[in-house]
């Protein structure tokens, strides 16, 4: 269909209140808002001030009342336990109402906090919705997070109750959660009243009498709870991200703007229709899990697939396509790093063609920069549109991308296309002025931010200003760098601290990664800037080779060095390219470039709490030492 993007985008900026008021009409409100946008206390702008609603009602009960109770709301697919479960909207509403009653029976009231420390099981989604149902504020902490990190979040959120499980299940191991939870509570100054624990048969936990409650036994005695209307500006949840000071930042998400924005995106960005099947390959511990496993799909009346597994290894790189066939999935949203892993293990796409993928219309990628080579490979193998898009925990939903529901624009590999309606995107220079087309600078959003964006940090207004608003007054600094081309297409190249200065030239490591990834034997790569006495910084590459590659390592690295010099220039020449088995990543798939840089530069560093496998950093350190590139390091 012809694109209506330009018209819709212009209206969203010229008449934001009218635009978002119209979008809000799709939801049920207990009380309509007094003001669409409250600008009385800048820079703390609030959407739908005076309005009252309940997010759980809009995600569950509303669909049942509208006659769609027998539509499947949630499919739980767990290859690690060989389990598939389906819940209709009516069934999920009953389960959530009962859990909400059990939570309230522990003294949790509107405005109280509840920490959810759980694996990817249906009960985790139910826990989030149950808190929303009674107006409690949930804070999901990634299951298996280290005890000190969990303790810091307990002390900041001060939860009355913790919902947890006995264990999580990875590809080849079972992780006992209860010892980590007990250790965190012992370390924390704040002591939650109780913990409600889901016992999983793979690892039963020892429950402490008087504090720990068995999930199933407690729910068997609970009375269902009705939805509680809350202010649109009341917090729905707190989601913690790592802070530069070592103290996590509590991103706050409100009820009203969040529900309106997510509901809008399912139709107009992702191009979905109620009743279709949507899968986000993420975890409820991350913002993608909040926005696009639980809230977004259910608000819009979709069937959401909740996946407990990995894109490779459970059992192989064909697991996504098996689920497409089994569940008739219409759209998948996953991280570029997941797709690079699939490409690495199945470079010829043999497993892709093994399954019936006729239902799959679109693949969406986000989470970190996606190199053009990976997008081109996915397009060629899947023969469907592949949509790269960009957003952050702080934004809560997509800030730039190709709006499928408004009629897709032409694709430019390497670009996330254009700003999404509601977001006034600028590329700024150090002086805060707009840069010319093609110039790399800091990507910033003009205030006020769109509904659904974090209005502040939990109990830390000044920290919110210092972290996001101080650098460019009147703008939210995304900490991402990139440029806008002459057609208005946005290129998000790297984090601002990954723009390196080589002999006075500002260079994007993301642009170099594009070139390295284009080598036919490279499955995945990372480029970092390391300190150099003469040039200030020089780029260093790490490459992971595709499975089955027979080309000698020294040939690949030599060819990679030549490619970068040819395509970017001599000034961007890599100091070296090192072949490694894997790249160090967070559990959400982001490459730990900063940690790698600190190791190479000899700076003090600490083991990231979110790292997927700490052993990988030992290999990185060893390869740097072999190449004579690692300065002595002192671990903090």
Three-class SS string for 5-38? HHHHHHHHHHCHHHHHHHHHCCCCCCECCCEEEE
The answer to whether 261 touches 397, Cβ cutoff 8 Å, is yes
Same fold: 5-309+389-482 with 503-626: no
Mean pLDDT of the chain: 92
Q: Fill in the DSSP letter of residue 315.
A: S
How would residue 221 be classed by pLDDT, with cut points 50, 70 and 90?
very high
* Inter-CA distances, 597 with 247, 464, 582, Å: 21, 27, 16
pLDDT at 316 over 50: yes
Residue 572 pLDDT greater than 90, yes or no: no
User: Is 310 exposed, middle or buried, given 0-12, 13-18 or 19+ CB atoms closer than 10 A?
Assistant: middle
CA 399 to mean position of chain CA atoms = 13
Per-residue confidence (pLDDT) for residue 409, from 0 to 100: 97
Select the more confidently predicted residue: 248 or 154. 154
Per-residue model confidence (pLDDT) at position 312: 93
Residue 59 three-state SS: helix
The pLDDT of residue 126 is above 70? yes
Choose among 90, 91, 171, 84: nearest CA to 121: 84
pLDDT value for 632: 66
pTM to 2 decimal places: 0.85
For the segment 366-403, what is each residue's pLDDT rounded down to a tens digit?
Answer: 987 788 888 999 999 999 999 999 999 999 999 999 99
> Strand pairing partners for 401?
418
Q: Residue 561: what are its φ and ψ, rounded to 5°?
A: -60, -40
For 544-626, where are the alpha helices, taking DSSP H only?
A: 553-567, 593-601, 615-626
**CA triple 377-383-386, angle to 5 deg:** 65
Query: pLDDT (tens digit, 9 = 90+) per residue, 11-55?
Result: 999 999 999 999 999 999 999 999 999 999 999 999 999 999 999
Q: Where are the domains of the chain?
A: 5-309+389-482, 503-626
Q: 133: pLDDT confidence band, cut at 50, 70 and 90? A: very high
Phi, psi of 577 (to 5 degrees): -125, 125
pLDDT band at 187 (very low <50, low <70, confident <90, very high): very high
* Backbone region of residue 251 per phi and psi (left: phi > 0; alpha: psi in -120 to 50; beta: other values): beta
What was the pLDDT predicted at 369?
A: 79
Peptide bond into 448 cis (omega under 30): yes
Quote the pLDDT of residue 467.
Answer: 93
- Least confident range of 64-78, 217-231, 479-493, 606-620: 606-620
Which residue blocks in 135-177 are alpha helix, DSSP H? 147-157
Quick: pLDDT tens for 530-556: 887 766 778 889 999 998 888 899 999
What is the three-state SS of 348-383?
Answer: CCCCHHHCCCCCCCEEEECCCCCCHHHHHHHHHHHC
pLDDT of residue 1: 61
CB 98 within 8 A of CB 222: yes
Residue 432 contacts by C-beta under 8 Å, 6 or more apart in sequence?
472, 473, 475
Starting at the edge strand found earlier in the chain, the sheet holding 490-495 runs: 425-428, 441-446, 475-484, 490-495
Looking at 7-11, 142-146, 364-368, 549-553, which range is the least confident one?
142-146
Q: Which of 484, 377, 33, 388 lies closest to 232 in space, CA to CA? A: 33
**499-515: per-residue pLDDT in tens?**
666 655 557 677 788 88
CATH number of 5-309+389-482: 3.40.50.12780
In the predicted structure, residue 495 carries a pLDDT above the cut 80: no
Counting residues of the chain whose pLDDT is more than 90, the rounded percentage is 74
503-626 is classed in which CATH architecture?
Answer: 2-Layer Sandwich (3.30)
Q: Centre a 10 Å sphere on the Cβ of residue 322 and count the other Cβ atoms it contains.
A: 18
Using the CB atoms, write b or e for 67-98: b if 16+ within 10 Å: ebbebbbbbbbbbbeeeeeebbbbbbbbbbbb
* Sequence-distant (≥ 6) Cβ neighbours of residue 593 within 8 angstroms: 495, 498, 509, 526, 528
Look at residue 243 in the predicted model and tell me its pLDDT. Answer: 57
Q: pLDDT tens digits for 323-334?
A: 999 999 999 999
161 and 196 Cβ atoms separated by less than 8 Å:
yes
């Amino acid at each position: 269909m012809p694109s209506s993007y330009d018209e819709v985008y212009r209206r969203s900026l010229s008449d934001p209140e009218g635009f978002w008021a119209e979008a809000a009409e799709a939801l049920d409100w207990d009380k309509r808002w007094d003001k669409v946008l409250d600008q009385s206390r800048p820079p703390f702008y609030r959407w739908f001030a005076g309005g009252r609603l309940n997010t759980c009602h809009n995600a569950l009960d509303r669909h049942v009342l509208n006659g769609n109770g027998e539509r499947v709301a949630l499919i739980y697919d767990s290859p690690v336990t060989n389990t598939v479960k389906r819940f209709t909207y009516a069934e999920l509403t009953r389960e959530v109402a009962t859990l909400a009653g059990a939570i309230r029976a522990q003294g949790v009231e509107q405005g109280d906090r509840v920490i959810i420390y759980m694996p990817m099981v249906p009960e985790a989604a139910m826990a989030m919705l149950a808190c929303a149902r009674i107006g409690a504020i949930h804070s999901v902490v990634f299951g298996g997070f280290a005890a000190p990190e969990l303790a810091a979040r307990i002390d900041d959120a001060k939860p009355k109750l913790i919902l947890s499980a006995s264990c999580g299940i990875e590809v080849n191991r079972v992780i006992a959660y209860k010892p980590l939870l007990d250790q965190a509570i012992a370390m924390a100054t704040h002591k939650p009243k109780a913990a409600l624990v889901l016992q999983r048969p793979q690892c039963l936990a020892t429950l402490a009498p008087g504090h720990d409650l068995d999930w199933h036994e407690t729910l068997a005695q609970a009375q269902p709870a009705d939805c509680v209307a809350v202010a649109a500006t009341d917090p729905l949840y707190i989601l913690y991200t790592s802070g530069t000071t070592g103290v996590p930042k509590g991103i706050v998400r409100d009820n009203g703007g969040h529900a309106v924005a997510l509901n809008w995106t399912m139709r107009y960005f992702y191009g979905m229709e109620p009743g279709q099947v949507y899968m986000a390959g993420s975890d409820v511990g991350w913002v993608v899990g909040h926005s696009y496993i639980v809230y977004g799909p259910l608000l819009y009346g979709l069937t959401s697939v909740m996946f407990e597994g990995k894109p490779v290894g459970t059992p192989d790189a064909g697991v996504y396509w098996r689920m497409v066939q089994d569940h008739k999935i219409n759209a998948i949203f996953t991280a570029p790093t997941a797709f690079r892993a699939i490409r690495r293990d199945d470079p010829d796409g043999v497993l892709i063609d093994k399954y019936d993928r006729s239902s799959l219309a679109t693949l969406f990628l986000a989470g970190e920069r996606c190199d053009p080579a990976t997008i081109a490979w996915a397009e060629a193998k899947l023969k469907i549109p592949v949509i790269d898009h960009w957003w952050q925990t702080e934004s809560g939903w997509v800030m730039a991308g190709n709006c499928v529901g408004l009629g897709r624009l032409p694709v430019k590999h390497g670009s996330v296309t254009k700003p999404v309606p509601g977001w006034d995107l600028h590329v700024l220079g150090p002086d805060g002025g707009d840069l010319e087309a093609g110039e790399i600078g800091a990507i910033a959003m003009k205030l006020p931010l769109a509904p659904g964006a974090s209005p502040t940090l939990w109990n830390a207004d000044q920290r919110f200003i210092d972290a996001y608003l101080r650098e460019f007054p009147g703008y939210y600094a995304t900490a991402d760098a990139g440029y806008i081309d002459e057609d208005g297409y946005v290129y998000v190249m790297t984090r601002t601290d990954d723009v390196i200065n080589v002999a006075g030239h500002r260079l994007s490591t993301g642009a170099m990664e594009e070139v390295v990834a284009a080598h036919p034997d490279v499955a995945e790569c990372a480029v970092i800037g390391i300190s150099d006495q003469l040039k200030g910084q020089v780029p260093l590459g790490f490459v992971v080779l595709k499975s089955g590659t027979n080309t000698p390592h020294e040939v690949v690295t030599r060819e990679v060095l030549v490619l970068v010099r040819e395509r970017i220039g001599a000034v961007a020449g890599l100091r070296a390219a090192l072949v490694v088995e894997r790249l160090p990543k967070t559990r959400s798939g982001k490459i730990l470039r900063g940690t790698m840089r600190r190791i190479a530069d000899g700076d003090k560093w600490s083991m990231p709490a979110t790292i997927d496998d700490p052993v990988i950093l030992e290999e990185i350190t060893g390869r740097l030492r072999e190449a004579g590139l690692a300065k002595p390091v002192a671990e903090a």
